[in-house]
A and B are shown apart, each in its own frame.
Chain A
Amino acid sequence: MIFLARRIGFYLVTAWAAVTLNFFIPRMMPGNPVDALINRYQGQMSSDAIASLNVLFGMDDKTSTFQQYLHYWSLLFHGDLGLSFAFFPTPVAAIITQSLPWTIGLVGLSTVLSFIIGTLIGTAIGWRRGTWADSILPITTFFSAVPYFWLGLLAIMLFGVVWQVLPASGGYDGGLVPTFSGEFIGSVLQHGLLPAATIVISSVAGWILGMRNMMVTVSSEDYVTVAQAKGLSERRVMFGYAARNAILPQVSGFALSLGFIVSGTLVMEMVFSYPGVGYVLYQAVTAKDYPLMQGVFLIITLSVLVANMLADLIYALLDPRTRQEG
Chain B
Amino acid sequence: MAVNAATLDPTVIDPAAVPAAATRHHLVFLRNTKAMTGLVLLAVFTVLAVIGSWISPYDPSALSAATMSPPSAQHWLGTTNLGQDILSQILVGTRGVMIVGLAAGIIATALAVIIGVTAGFIGGVGDELLSALSNIFLVIPALPLIIIIAGQLPSSGELTVAFVISITGWAWGSRILRAQTLSLRRRDFVEAARANGESLWRIVIFEILPNLTAIIASSFVGTVTFAILSEITLAFIGVTSISNWNWGTILFWAQSNQALARGAWWWFVPAGMCIALLGMALSLINFGIDEFVNPRLRNTGQNARTMRRRGIRARIGFTPVARSAQPADPAQPAGRGRKDEA
State whether B144 touches A216 (Cβ < 8 A). no
Residues in chain B near residue A219, CB distance under 8 A = 316-317
- Known A253-B4, A282-B237: A33·B136 in contact at CB below 8 Å: no
Is B229 positioned at the interface, with any CB of A under 8 Å from its CB? yes
Is A63 positioned at the interface, with any CB of B under 8 Å from its CB? no
State whether A10 touches B132 (Cβ < 8 A). yes
State whether B6 touches A213 (Cβ < 8 A). yes
State whether B268 touches A153 (Cβ < 8 A). yes
Complex interface bits, A240-277 against B, C-beta within 8 A gives 1, otherwise 0: 00100000010001011111101110110011000000
- Known A130-B307, A144-B1: A259·B272 in contact at CB below 8 Å: no
Complex interface bits, B137-171 against A, C-beta within 8 A gives 1, otherwise 0: 01111111101110111100000000000000000
Is B193 positioned at the interface, with any CB of A under 8 Å from its CB? no
Complex interface bits, A11-26 against B, C-beta within 8 A gives 1, otherwise 0: 1011001100110011
Is B303 positioned at the interface, with any CB of A under 8 Å from its CB? yes
How far apart are the CA atoms of A317 and B289 in the complex, in Å? 33
State whether B308 touches A154 (Cβ < 8 A). no
The segment from A79-87, A176-184, A187-195, A295-303 that touches chain B is: A295-303
Main secondary structure of the interface of B (DSSP, over half): helix
The smallest C-beta distance from A19 to any residue of chain B, in angstroms, reads 11
Complex interface bits, A106-148 against B, C-beta within 8 A gives 1, otherwise 0: 0000000000000000000000111100100000011011110
10 new A-B contacts, CB < 8 A, other than A228-B316, A253-B5, are: A10-B132, A154-B269, A161-B261, A213-B7, A217-B296, A249-B6, A255-B139, A263-B143, A266-B144, A282-B237
> Closest 7 A-B residue pairs measured CB to CB?
A145-B279, A263-B143, A219-B317, A220-B317, A249-B6, A150-B272, A130-B314
Interfacial residues, chain B to chain A (CB-CB below 8 A)? 1-2, 4-7, 9, 132, 135-136, 138-145, 147-149, 151-154, 172, 225-226, 229, 232-233, 236-239, 251, 254-255, 260-261, 263, 265, 268-269, 271-272, 275-280, 282-284, 287, 290, 294, 296-297, 300, 303-304, 307-308, 313-319
A-B contact pairs, 8 of them (CB 8 A): A144-B1, A147-B232, A149-B233, A153-B272, A157-B265, A162-B263, A237-B316, A300-B144
